[in-house]
Amino acid sequence: MKDYPSELIRNLALAGHGGSGKTTFSEACLFAAGSTTRLGKVEEGNTVSDYHADEVERQISINASLMHCEWKGAKLNILDSPGYTDFTGEVKCCLRVADTALIFLKAVEGAEVGTEIVWQHSREFGNGVVFIVNKLDNENLIPVQFPVNQGLQFESVIDVLRMKMLQYGRDGKGKYSELEIPAEYKAKAEEMHEQLVEQIAESEETLLDKFIEKGSLTDQEIKLGLRTALRTRKIFPLLCSAAAQTMGVAAIMDFLVEYAPSPADMGPVMGASAASKQQEQLVVKCDPRAQPALFVFKTMSEPHVGELSFFRVYSGSVT
Protein backbone atom coordinates (compact mmCIF):
# COMPACT_ATOMS: atom_id res chain seq x y z
CA MET A 1 0.00 0.00 0.00
CA LYS A 2 1.26 3.47 -0.85
CA ASP A 3 2.50 5.62 2.04
CA TYR A 4 1.10 9.13 2.42
CA PRO A 5 2.57 11.90 4.60
CA SER A 6 0.17 13.43 7.11
CA GLU A 7 -0.13 16.58 4.98
CA LEU A 8 -1.69 14.56 2.15
CA ILE A 9 -4.34 12.80 4.24
CA ARG A 10 -7.93 14.01 4.64
CA ASN A 11 -10.05 12.25 7.27
CA LEU A 12 -13.69 12.83 6.31
CA ALA A 13 -16.92 11.78 8.04
CA LEU A 14 -20.15 11.81 6.00
CA ALA A 15 -23.07 12.70 8.27
CA GLY A 16 -26.63 13.93 7.95
CA HIS A 17 -30.29 12.96 8.15
CA GLY A 18 -31.36 9.60 6.78
CA GLY A 19 -31.81 9.54 3.02
CA SER A 20 -29.69 12.63 2.34
CA GLY A 21 -27.41 10.72 -0.04
CA LYS A 22 -24.28 10.04 2.01
CA THR A 23 -23.78 6.47 0.76
CA THR A 24 -24.50 7.50 -2.82
CA PHE A 25 -21.97 10.31 -2.47
CA SER A 26 -19.30 7.91 -1.18
CA GLU A 27 -19.99 5.63 -4.15
CA ALA A 28 -19.62 8.56 -6.53
CA CYS A 29 -16.29 9.51 -4.90
CA LEU A 30 -14.88 6.00 -5.31
CA PHE A 31 -16.11 5.79 -8.91
CA ALA A 32 -14.82 9.26 -9.88
CA ALA A 33 -11.42 8.49 -8.33
CA GLY A 34 -11.16 5.18 -10.19
CA SER A 35 -11.24 3.03 -7.04
CA THR A 36 -14.29 1.20 -8.42
CA THR A 37 -15.20 0.43 -12.01
CA ARG A 38 -18.96 0.77 -11.60
CA LEU A 39 -21.24 3.12 -9.70
CA GLY A 40 -23.04 1.17 -6.98
CA LYS A 41 -26.64 2.03 -6.14
CA VAL A 42 -28.43 1.73 -2.80
CA GLU A 43 -31.62 0.49 -4.43
CA GLU A 44 -29.67 -2.27 -6.20
CA GLY A 45 -27.91 -3.37 -3.01
CA ASN A 46 -24.43 -3.22 -4.53
CA THR A 47 -22.74 -0.29 -2.77
CA VAL A 48 -19.32 -0.67 -1.19
CA SER A 49 -20.33 0.63 2.23
CA ASP A 50 -23.78 -0.96 2.73
CA TYR A 51 -22.82 -4.61 2.39
CA HIS A 52 -24.54 -6.21 5.39
CA ALA A 53 -27.68 -8.21 4.64
CA ASP A 54 -29.88 -5.94 6.79
CA GLU A 55 -28.54 -2.84 5.03
CA VAL A 56 -29.15 -4.32 1.59
CA GLU A 57 -32.67 -5.40 2.54
CA ARG A 58 -33.71 -2.14 4.19
CA GLN A 59 -31.72 0.11 1.82
CA ILE A 60 -30.30 2.15 4.71
CA SER A 61 -26.91 2.39 6.43
CA ILE A 62 -26.81 0.69 9.83
CA ASN A 63 -23.07 0.46 10.44
CA ALA A 64 -20.27 2.96 9.95
CA SER A 65 -18.09 2.00 6.97
CA LEU A 66 -14.52 2.99 6.17
CA MET A 67 -13.41 3.56 2.58
CA HIS A 68 -10.57 5.42 0.91
CA CYS A 69 -9.50 6.72 -2.47
CA GLU A 70 -6.74 8.85 -3.94
CA TRP A 71 -7.59 12.24 -5.44
CA LYS A 72 -5.08 14.77 -6.79
CA GLY A 73 -2.27 12.94 -4.96
CA ALA A 74 -4.02 13.03 -1.57
CA LYS A 75 -5.59 10.12 0.30
CA LEU A 76 -9.22 10.63 1.25
CA ASN A 77 -10.30 8.46 4.19
CA ILE A 78 -14.10 8.37 3.96
CA LEU A 79 -16.25 7.35 6.92
CA ASP A 80 -19.86 6.77 5.85
CA SER A 81 -22.14 6.99 8.89
CA PRO A 82 -25.83 6.02 9.27
CA GLY A 83 -28.45 8.76 9.11
CA TYR A 84 -31.12 7.40 11.41
CA THR A 85 -30.97 8.38 15.08
CA ASP A 86 -31.18 4.74 16.21
CA PHE A 87 -27.52 4.44 15.18
CA THR A 88 -26.15 7.67 16.68
CA GLY A 89 -23.27 5.77 18.30
CA GLU A 90 -21.93 4.90 14.85
CA VAL A 91 -22.07 8.58 13.85
CA LYS A 92 -20.20 9.71 16.95
CA CYS A 93 -17.42 7.16 16.50
CA CYS A 94 -16.87 8.48 12.96
CA LEU A 95 -16.80 12.14 14.01
CA ARG A 96 -14.47 11.32 16.90
CA VAL A 97 -11.64 10.35 14.53
CA ALA A 98 -12.45 12.59 11.53
CA ASP A 99 -10.94 16.03 11.02
CA THR A 100 -13.69 17.30 8.72
CA ALA A 101 -17.41 16.52 8.79
CA LEU A 102 -19.37 16.65 5.54
CA ILE A 103 -22.95 17.37 6.63
CA PHE A 104 -25.51 16.53 3.94
CA LEU A 105 -28.76 18.40 3.34
CA LYS A 106 -31.52 17.31 1.00
CA ALA A 107 -32.12 20.05 -1.54
CA VAL A 108 -35.91 19.96 -1.15
CA GLU A 109 -36.32 19.33 2.59
CA GLY A 110 -33.32 21.34 3.82
CA ALA A 111 -32.22 20.99 7.47
CA GLU A 112 -33.98 18.17 9.34
CA VAL A 113 -33.79 16.65 12.83
CA GLY A 114 -30.82 14.47 11.91
CA THR A 115 -29.00 17.52 10.55
CA GLU A 116 -29.29 19.31 13.88
CA ILE A 117 -28.11 16.23 15.78
CA VAL A 118 -24.94 15.73 13.73
CA TRP A 119 -24.26 19.48 13.90
CA GLN A 120 -24.25 19.24 17.71
CA HIS A 121 -21.96 16.20 17.54
CA SER A 122 -19.55 18.09 15.26
CA ARG A 123 -19.40 20.89 17.82
CA GLU A 124 -18.65 18.35 20.55
CA PHE A 125 -15.69 16.92 18.65
CA GLY A 126 -14.50 20.19 17.08
CA ASN A 127 -14.70 19.02 13.46
CA GLY A 128 -14.32 21.43 10.61
CA VAL A 129 -17.65 21.35 8.73
CA VAL A 130 -18.52 21.51 5.04
CA PHE A 131 -22.23 21.51 4.17
CA ILE A 132 -23.27 19.73 0.98
CA VAL A 133 -26.69 20.33 -0.57
CA ASN A 134 -27.38 17.05 -2.33
CA LYS A 135 -30.07 15.75 -4.68
CA LEU A 136 -30.11 18.90 -6.76
CA ASP A 137 -31.45 16.82 -9.64
CA ASN A 138 -34.84 16.51 -7.92
CA GLU A 139 -37.91 17.92 -9.67
CA ASN A 140 -39.74 21.16 -8.65
CA LEU A 141 -36.84 22.57 -6.69
CA ILE A 142 -35.84 26.01 -5.38
CA PRO A 143 -32.26 25.43 -4.13
CA VAL A 144 -30.35 27.54 -1.65
CA GLN A 145 -27.00 27.17 -3.45
CA PHE A 146 -25.99 28.41 -6.88
CA PRO A 147 -26.77 25.78 -9.52
CA VAL A 148 -27.33 27.13 -13.01
CA ASN A 149 -30.17 24.83 -14.01
CA GLN A 150 -31.68 23.12 -11.00
CA GLY A 151 -34.19 20.32 -11.27
CA LEU A 152 -34.14 17.45 -13.74
CA GLN A 153 -31.84 19.38 -16.11
CA PHE A 154 -29.20 20.07 -13.44
CA GLU A 155 -25.69 19.80 -14.90
CA SER A 156 -23.85 23.04 -14.05
CA VAL A 157 -22.91 25.04 -10.98
CA ILE A 158 -21.30 28.41 -10.49
CA ASP A 159 -18.17 28.19 -8.34
CA VAL A 160 -17.85 31.60 -6.68
CA LEU A 161 -14.44 30.70 -5.27
CA ARG A 162 -12.89 29.97 -8.66
CA MET A 163 -15.29 32.35 -10.42
CA LYS A 164 -15.96 29.72 -13.08
CA MET A 165 -18.93 27.68 -14.23
CA LEU A 166 -18.43 23.93 -13.78
CA GLN A 167 -20.37 21.93 -16.36
CA TYR A 168 -20.76 18.17 -15.89
CA GLY A 169 -21.24 15.61 -18.63
CA ARG A 170 -24.29 13.34 -18.60
CA ASP A 171 -22.23 10.19 -19.19
CA GLY A 172 -22.09 9.39 -15.45
CA LYS A 173 -18.28 9.66 -15.24
CA GLY A 174 -18.39 12.71 -12.97
CA LYS A 175 -15.93 14.81 -14.98
CA TYR A 176 -16.51 18.51 -15.53
CA SER A 177 -15.41 21.33 -17.79
CA GLU A 178 -14.41 24.72 -16.40
CA LEU A 179 -16.11 27.50 -18.38
CA GLU A 180 -16.53 31.25 -18.11
CA ILE A 181 -19.56 32.37 -16.12
CA PRO A 182 -22.48 33.31 -18.41
CA ALA A 183 -23.28 37.02 -18.50
CA GLU A 184 -26.68 36.60 -16.82
CA TYR A 185 -25.05 35.06 -13.71
CA LYS A 186 -21.94 37.27 -13.59
CA ALA A 187 -23.31 39.95 -11.25
CA LYS A 188 -24.67 37.41 -8.74
CA ALA A 189 -21.40 35.45 -8.80
CA GLU A 190 -19.32 38.58 -8.22
CA GLU A 191 -21.54 39.62 -5.32
CA MET A 192 -21.25 36.17 -3.69
CA HIS A 193 -17.48 36.13 -4.29
CA GLU A 194 -17.10 39.49 -2.54
CA GLN A 195 -19.16 38.24 0.41
CA LEU A 196 -16.98 35.14 0.65
CA VAL A 197 -13.75 37.16 0.61
CA GLU A 198 -15.15 39.46 3.31
CA GLN A 199 -16.04 36.48 5.50
CA ILE A 200 -12.56 35.02 5.07
CA ALA A 201 -11.01 38.40 5.95
CA GLU A 202 -13.17 38.74 9.06
CA SER A 203 -12.07 35.31 10.30
CA GLU A 204 -8.52 36.47 11.08
CA GLU A 205 -7.23 39.85 12.28
CA THR A 206 -4.17 40.02 10.00
CA LEU A 207 -6.28 39.27 6.93
CA LEU A 208 -8.85 41.84 8.00
CA ASP A 209 -6.14 44.52 8.23
CA LYS A 210 -4.94 43.65 4.71
CA PHE A 211 -8.51 43.66 3.41
CA ILE A 212 -9.23 47.08 4.90
CA GLU A 213 -5.96 48.46 3.53
CA LYS A 214 -6.18 47.03 -0.01
CA GLY A 215 -9.89 46.32 -0.42
CA SER A 216 -9.28 42.70 -1.34
CA LEU A 217 -7.09 39.65 -0.70
CA THR A 218 -4.66 37.80 -2.95
CA ASP A 219 -5.51 34.29 -4.14
CA GLN A 220 -2.93 32.85 -1.73
CA GLU A 221 -4.37 34.81 1.20
CA ILE A 222 -7.87 33.61 0.31
CA LYS A 223 -6.64 30.01 0.18
CA LEU A 224 -4.77 30.13 3.49
CA GLY A 225 -7.54 32.11 5.16
CA LEU A 226 -10.24 29.68 4.08
CA ARG A 227 -8.20 26.67 5.18
CA THR A 228 -7.67 28.19 8.62
CA ALA A 229 -11.29 29.36 8.97
CA LEU A 230 -12.60 25.90 8.04
CA ARG A 231 -10.30 24.20 10.53
CA THR A 232 -11.21 26.58 13.37
CA ARG A 233 -14.98 26.45 12.66
CA LYS A 234 -15.23 30.13 11.72
CA ILE A 235 -16.54 29.44 8.21
CA PHE A 236 -18.76 26.56 7.09
CA PRO A 237 -18.59 26.29 3.27
CA LEU A 238 -21.68 25.09 1.41
CA LEU A 239 -21.26 23.06 -1.78
CA CYS A 240 -23.80 21.27 -3.95
CA SER A 241 -24.13 18.01 -5.84
CA ALA A 242 -26.39 15.44 -7.42
CA ALA A 243 -24.40 12.42 -6.26
CA ALA A 244 -26.66 9.85 -7.95
CA GLN A 245 -25.63 11.40 -11.28
CA THR A 246 -21.99 11.89 -10.07
CA MET A 247 -22.46 15.62 -10.65
CA GLY A 248 -20.67 17.95 -8.27
CA VAL A 249 -18.63 15.17 -6.67
CA ALA A 250 -15.31 15.81 -8.44
CA ALA A 251 -15.40 19.53 -7.59
CA ILE A 252 -16.19 18.72 -3.94
CA MET A 253 -13.19 16.37 -3.75
CA ASP A 254 -11.05 19.09 -5.37
CA PHE A 255 -12.22 21.48 -2.64
CA LEU A 256 -11.50 19.00 0.16
CA VAL A 257 -7.97 18.30 -1.06
CA GLU A 258 -7.30 22.04 -1.39
CA TYR A 259 -8.95 23.39 1.75
CA ALA A 260 -9.88 20.67 4.27
CA PRO A 261 -7.36 20.26 7.12
CA SER A 262 -4.87 17.41 7.23
CA PRO A 263 -4.03 15.62 10.52
CA ALA A 264 -0.89 17.77 10.69
CA ASP A 265 -3.04 20.92 10.64
CA MET A 266 -5.25 19.85 13.53
CA GLY A 267 -2.68 20.18 16.32
CA PRO A 268 -2.08 17.82 19.25
CA VAL A 269 -4.79 15.75 20.93
CA MET A 270 -5.14 14.92 24.63
CA GLY A 271 -4.89 11.38 25.94
CA ALA A 272 -4.50 9.58 29.24
CA SER A 273 -1.77 7.21 30.37
CA ALA A 274 -3.13 3.73 31.09
CA ALA A 275 -0.02 2.99 33.16
CA SER A 276 -0.70 5.87 35.56
CA LYS A 277 -3.09 5.35 38.49
CA GLN A 278 -3.91 9.05 38.35
CA GLN A 279 -4.75 8.81 34.61
CA GLU A 280 -1.99 11.28 33.78
CA GLN A 281 -2.93 13.55 30.87
CA LEU A 282 -0.73 13.22 27.81
CA VAL A 283 -0.29 15.53 24.83
CA VAL A 284 -0.09 13.52 21.59
CA LYS A 285 1.41 15.41 18.66
CA CYS A 286 1.06 14.43 15.02
CA ASP A 287 4.62 13.23 14.50
CA PRO A 288 5.37 10.21 12.28
CA ARG A 289 8.72 9.75 14.10
CA ALA A 290 7.22 9.58 17.61
CA GLN A 291 6.07 6.57 19.59
CA PRO A 292 2.91 5.05 18.03
CA ALA A 293 -0.34 6.26 19.60
CA LEU A 294 -3.66 5.08 18.21
CA PHE A 295 -7.33 5.23 19.09
CA VAL A 296 -9.67 2.27 18.44
CA PHE A 297 -12.98 3.81 17.45
CA LYS A 298 -14.93 0.75 16.31
CA THR A 299 -14.86 -3.01 16.86
CA MET A 300 -17.07 -5.40 14.94
CA SER A 301 -17.47 -9.10 14.23
CA GLU A 302 -17.49 -10.24 10.61
CA PRO A 303 -18.50 -13.75 9.47
CA HIS A 304 -15.55 -15.82 8.18
CA VAL A 305 -13.14 -13.09 9.37
CA GLY A 306 -13.67 -12.69 13.11
CA GLU A 307 -13.20 -9.62 15.28
CA LEU A 308 -12.11 -6.47 13.46
CA SER A 309 -10.98 -3.26 15.14
CA PHE A 310 -10.70 0.04 13.29
CA PHE A 311 -8.30 2.63 14.64
CA ARG A 312 -6.81 6.01 13.84
CA VAL A 313 -3.07 6.54 14.25
CA TYR A 314 -2.42 9.90 15.95
CA SER A 315 1.38 9.68 16.10
CA GLY A 316 4.12 7.35 14.96
CA SER A 317 3.45 4.71 12.34
CA VAL A 318 1.97 1.23 12.28
CA THR A 319 2.87 -1.38 9.67
Beta sheet of 156-159, edge-to-edge order: 156-159, 164-168, 176-179
State the pLDDT confidence band at 136, using cuts at 50, 70 and 90: low
Q: What DSSP element (H or E) covers 251? A: helix 249-259
pLDDT, position 272: 79
Q: Which residues of 48-69 are buried (b: 16+ CB within 10 A; e: fewer)?
A: bbbebeebeeeebbebbbebbb
Instruction: Compute the distance between CA of residue 7 and CA of residue 9 in angstroms, rounded to an integer.
Output: 6
Query: Helices (DSSP H) in 85-204: which residue ranges?
Result: 88-97, 113-125, 183-202
Q: Which CATH superfamily is domain 273-319 in?
A: Translation factors (2.40.30.10)
Q: Which phi-psi region, left, alpha or beta, contains residue 18 (left: φ > 0; alpha: ψ -120 to 50)?
A: beta
Work out the pLDDT band at 144, boundaries 50, 70, 90. Answer: very low
Confidence of residue 185 (pLDDT cuts 50, 70, 90): very high
Query: What are the pLDDT digits (tens) for 69-118?
Result: 999 999 999 999 987 777 888 999 999 999 999 999 887 677 788 888 99
Instruction: Supply the pLDDT for residue 121.
Output: 94
The percent of residues above 90 in pLDDT, for the chain, comes to: 45
Residue 183 reports pLDDT greater than 50: yes
Domain boundaries, the chain: 8-193+219-266, 273-319
Q: What is the pLDDT of residue 209?
A: 93
Percentage with pLDDT > 70 across the chain:
95
Confidence tier at 39 by pLDDT (50, 70, 90): confident
pLDDT of residue 1: 66
Q: Is pLDDT of 261 > 80?
A: yes
What is the CATH superfamily name and number for domain 8-193+219-266? P-loop containing nucleotide triphosphate hydrolases (3.40.50.300)
Mean pLDDT of the 147-165 span: 84
* pLDDT of the residue at 138: 53
Question: In this predicted structure, what is the pLDDT of residue 151?
Answer: 73
For residues 58 and 223, the model is more confident at 223
Q: How many of the other CB atoms lie within 10 Å of CB of 35?
A: 16
What's the residue count for the chain?
319
Phi first, then psi: give them for residue 24, nearest 5 degrees: -65, -40
205-248: pLDDT as tens digits:
999 999 999 888 999 999 999 999 999 988 888 888 888 888 88
Containing H/E element for 26? helix 22-33
pTM of the model: 0.79
Q: What residues form DSSP beta bridges with 298?
A: 310
